[in-house]
Amino acid sequence: MADRRWRTLYHAAVFEVDPEKVEGRAKAAELAINAHVFSDYQHISRDERADMTRALSALEVLKLEGGRAQSANSTVTRKSSD
């Protein structure tokens, strides 16, 4: 069940199209991954641990890119309102 939760949240972050929501979804997925690791580490397969490691790396990139997109959007908004 926890395996499904982090994967669902991860996919929600990856497929989010609203730059303002990406960072929040990425953080939620990270929290779910970390909670899964801390609650059930001994029962997590090597493959799932590898999946989680890759997911965490991808989420870091998403947060960086989401922050850049959000910053670019606010700059465009400010310039158009000048």
Quick one: pLDDT at residue 9? 97
Higher pLDDT, 43 or 75: 43
Question: pTM for the complete prediction?
Answer: 0.77
Per domain, the residue ranges of the chain are 2-81
For the cut 80, the answer to whether the pLDDT of residue 41 exceeds it is yes
Instruction: Output the six-digit token pair for 80.
Output: 């158009």
Confidence of residue 57 (pLDDT cuts 50, 70, 90): very high
Give Cβ neighbours of residue 48 (< 8 Å, ≥ 6 apart). 3
